[in-house]
Amino acid sequence: MSEENPYLGRAHRFVSMLRHCQVLGMKVTEANPESLTIELPYDERHVGNPSTGVIHGGVLTTLMDTACGTMVINALPEFELCPTLDLRVDYVRAAEPGQSIFALAEAYRVSRNVVFTRCTVHQGDVKEPVANCVATFMRIGSQLTPPAFRNTVLGTDGGA
Amino acid sequence: MIFEDILKQAHETGLYQPVVDAIPYANLVGLEFQRFGNDVIFRLPDNSDNIGNPILPAVHGGVIGGFMEMSAALHLMMALDAPAMPKIVDFSLDYLRAARGGRDTFAECQVIRQGSRVANVIINAWQTRREDAVATARAHFLLAQ
């Protein structure tokens, strides 16, 4: 199966399988071997502080966990489902209500057992971040990843 | 009614359900709570909309984080009679085991240190037994003056 950008295809199919990401409304907008961007449009259901309309930190946590986890898939030579070990977030400034947020993720080190990632959430200017995070993922090996899941993400199941 | 008034009324009556009802994200994930004197246990009921990994299935790690973070903010508001929502500064979350779909998740918070402007809170989350935590977290919040 030939795809114009296999990284984007893989990332898109992976995020499509995560129910809660669909409930929130995440969309992968850019993917390459080095980085990945997911957009999340503003939605009043995401609000954590009713006085200000600012979205809840948990929405950012979910967005960053997803962006880093999806980046891990694109950073590995073979498909592996890697559980998150930990996540450390700095909430640098409140997100501006009414505007999309973007998560830009990178995997800066892939070791034998662990993948180290970082992610910045911004609203159009990456130099004005809303949040920064580092997250580590445990490699469990491609043999422990269910084949059906792998085929769906890789787009090799003959279907979508 | 504005949120600060809802909160003020809750401090007066000791009834915090209207506070949770006023927070859209708490309703989106389905957060519930129960108070036992000054102790509070937060509950995230099983909900297929909160699933991440469809194979296990498991609750999305971000939802677990969001639930714990929201629990900590509510815990602080209840414990300190805070006049407004505390602002989260940072959050450090360790995932210990998968939070399985089909089960409820619970959380309990402890204020480790409270200064005049900032509070340090630890949060533990579990499903079947408190000792078998699914995640543990630490957060700093700026308190409303």
Provide, as residue numbers in chain A, all residues whose Cβ is less than 8 Å from the Cβ of B29: 58
Return the pLDDT at B42.
Answer: 98
Whichever domain contains B91, its CATH number is 3.10.129.10
Q: How far is residue A35 from each of residues A72, A108, B19, measured CA to CA in Å?
A: 10, 10, 39
Return the pLDDT at B79.
Answer: 94
Return the pLDDT at A47.
Answer: 97
User: Each residue of A40-91: pLDDT tens digit?
Assistant: 999 999 999 999 999 999 999 999 999 999 999 999 998 888 999 999 999 9
- CATH numbers and ranges of domains, chain A: 6-154 (3.10.129.10)
**Yes or no, beta carbons of A51 and B2 under 8 Å apart:** yes
**Yes or no, beta carbons of B95 and A61 under 8 Å apart:** no
**Yes or no, beta carbons of B91 and A64 under 8 Å apart:** no
Return the pLDDT at A159.
Answer: 47
User: Each residue of B79-101: pLDDT tens digit?
Assistant: 999 999 999 999 999 999 999 99
Distance between CA B27 and CA B6 in Å, rounded?
16
State which residue of chain B sits closest to A59, comparing Cα positions. Answer: B66
Q: Is pLDDT of B113 > 80? A: yes
User: Each residue of B32-70: pLDDT tens digit?
Assistant: 999 998 899 999 999 999 999 998 899 999 999 999 999
Residue among B98, B109, B102 nearest B132 (CA): B98
**Whole-number mean pLDDT of chain A?**
93
Return the pLDDT at A42.
Answer: 98
Return the pLDDT at A2.
Answer: 61
Distance between CA B29 and CA B67 in Å, rounded?
8
Question: What is the mean pLDDT of the segment spanning B117-128?
Answer: 97
**Alpha-carbon gap: B36 to the closest alpha carbon of chain A (Å):** 25
pTM of the model: 0.95
Return the pLDDT at A10.
Answer: 95
User: Each residue of A118-152: pLDDT tens digit?
Assistant: 999 999 999 999 999 999 999 988 777 788 888 88
Mutate to test the interface with B, among A62, A82, A145 (most CBs of B within 10 A): A62
The number of folded domains in chain B is 1
Return the pLDDT at A147.
Answer: 83
Q: How far is residue B23 from each of residues A28, A39, A126, B1, B63, measured CA to CA in Å?
A: 27, 23, 28, 13, 15
Distance in Å from the first CA to the final CA of chain B = 21
Return the pLDDT at A158.
Answer: 52
State which residue of chain A sits closest to B49, comparing Cα positions. Answer: A20
Confidence of residue A157 (pLDDT cuts 50, 70, 90): low
Angle, CA of A62, A148 and B101, to the nearest 5°: 45
Residue among B114, B52, B93 nearest A136 (CA): B93
Provide, as residue numbers in chain A, all residues whose Cβ is less than 8 Å from the Cβ of B69: 56-58, 61
| Enclosing domain of residue B88 | 3-142
User: Each residue of A99-114: pLDDT tens digit?
Assistant: 999 999 999 999 999 9
User: Does the model's ipTM exceed the 0.85 cut?
Assistant: yes
